[in-house]
Amino acid sequence: MSLERYGKGWRIRFRPYGDRLINLTVATRDQWQARRIEKDILLACKTSDYSGLSIEAKEAVLRMFENQKWELPAELQVQEEPAEELTLWKAVEIFLNYPDIMTSRNRPRAIQALSHVVRILGKQRSIKDIWIPDLKMYHAQRQSEDAANSTVNREMSALSRLFTVMCELRIVNVNPCRLVKRLSEKSGYREAYLSYDDVSRIADRCPSWYQSVIWIAYYSGMRRGEILNLKWSQINLQRRMIYLTADDTKEGSRKRIPIHSELGLVFEKLGRIRSLQTDIVVLVDGHILGNSSIDNPWKRAMGKLQWEKPCPRFHDLRHSWKVNALRSGIDYEIRETIMGHWNKGKGVTERYGYIDAQALVDAIDRMTFDHGETHIWATPNRAQIKANRKGM
C-alpha cells in the first residue's frame, strides 16, 4: 500500500483483496485527507462493510468497481427512490440557497453555468437520474455549440458543486461529475501582452469608473473579481500595500500587493469620491458594481476600436503585468508572491521562506510598464476553424 502525488490529486496503490494491484486516484490536494481516504477504503475492502465510507471515499470505491468491472456491493448500489423525485430545477434552487453558496463570490458564475446545464439536461430531469452518460452527452452538446473546453469544464465544476451540496444534504449518495474526466484545455492556449499605448486607447473609450478598474489591473496584476470586491480597509496608502485574505483570492491564500506610484494616484483619485455608505473602492454613481456589468465597457471599447480578432481580454492585463515584471528584472519569487502563486506546486519546507513588505515595495519601485508592442496569440476555436474551412 502506498500513496503518491498524481497531478492535482493523489494516487493510492494497494491490493484491496490481496491479489491484483489497483491504482486509484482521489481528487484532493490535501495529503492528510488523501491518507484518511486511503485508510477508509482499505478498511472497507477488508471488512466488506462500505456503509461508513465518506462521500469522497465512496466515490473513489465506486470508480474502482466500475473500472474493474466488479459487481457493486449492496451498500453501494442506488437505493430505491422515493415517490416524489427531486428535479434538477428544484436542486438548483436548493443549491443557490445553501448557506455556503449564498455567501460565495462565485454565485453569479454558478447561476450562469447552471443555466446551460438546465437547458440541456432539462428542468424536470430527476437529479438522481443524472449519471455518467448524461454528462458525456452534455460535453458533446456544448462542444457542438462551439463552447470552449474551459467553459464546459467550468459548467461541470458548478454542477459538481451542486452534487456535493446534494450529498451533504443526503439527497444523493454520489457525485457523478467526479467520475467523468475534464476536457483538455490545451487547445485553448493563449499568449497576450498589451502595450501601454493600447491599454490607454482602450481606457480612453470607456467610462471614467471603468478606467479605474483597468488601471488598477494594469498596475497591480489583480484579477477582475479581486478589484470589484476590493475595500478601502484592505488598502494602506501610507505603507503602500494592499492586503487580500484567503477569501478574497482565487488561490484561497492571502496575498500582499505593493502599490506602485502610478497605482497610488489611481487610489487617490478614487478616494476623492469615496462613499460613506460602503467600503467598496470602485463604484458607479455610489453603487457597487455587479460581475455582469464589468465586461460591457471593455467589449464596447473593442467595437469602437474595430479591433481584429483575437481581441484583447480584460484578463490579458494580468498577463501583461507579469511580462512587465519579468522584463523589469523583478525576482521570480517576488513576482509569484505578488501574483498569488507563491505556494503553487511547493512542498511544505519551501513555504517557510518569507518576503517582507519592504522587499515588495522596493521591487515595485523598479518596475516599468512599457516593454514592447501588443502581441496576442491564441489557438483558433472550433467556430473559427469551421469558418476558415468554408473560406477555402
Q: What separation, in Å, do the N-terminal and C-terminal C-alpha atoms of the chain show?
A: 57
DSSP letter for 222, please: -
- Segments making up each domain of the chain, as ranges: 2-76, 88-188, 190-386
Q: Are 276 and 263 in contact (CB under 8 A)?
A: no
Residues 334 and 358: their CA atoms lie apart, in Å, by 11
Residues of the chain with pLDDT > 70, as a percent, come to 87
- Give, in order, the Cα–Cα distances in Å from 201 to each of 216, 256, 291, 368: 16, 29, 23, 19
Q: What is the pLDDT of residues 328-356, one digit of tens each?
A: 999 999 999 999 876 555 544 445 557 89
Judge: domain 88-188, CATH 1.10.150.
yes
Provide the residue count of the chain: 392
Report which of residues 148 and 385 the model is more confident about. Answer: 148
- Fold equal for 88-188 and 190-386: no
Residues 40 and 63: their CA atoms lie apart, in Å, by 15
Which position has the grid cell 523589469? 328
Report which of residues 22 and 307 the model is more confident about. Answer: 307
- Give, in order, the Cα–Cα distances in Å from 79 to each of 41, 65, 71, 384: 21, 17, 16, 47
> What is the 3 state secondary structure string of 302-330?
HHHHCCCCCCCCCCHHHHHHHHHHHHCCC
Q: Is the pLDDT of residue 6 over 80?
A: no
Q: What is the pLDDT of residues 83-139, one digit of tens each?
A: 468 999 999 999 998 888 887 878 878 998 999 999 999 999 999 999 999 999 999
Considering the domain 190-386 in this protein, what is its CATH number?
A: 1.10.443.10
Q: What is the pLDDT of residues 304-314, one digit of tens each?
A: 999 988 899 99
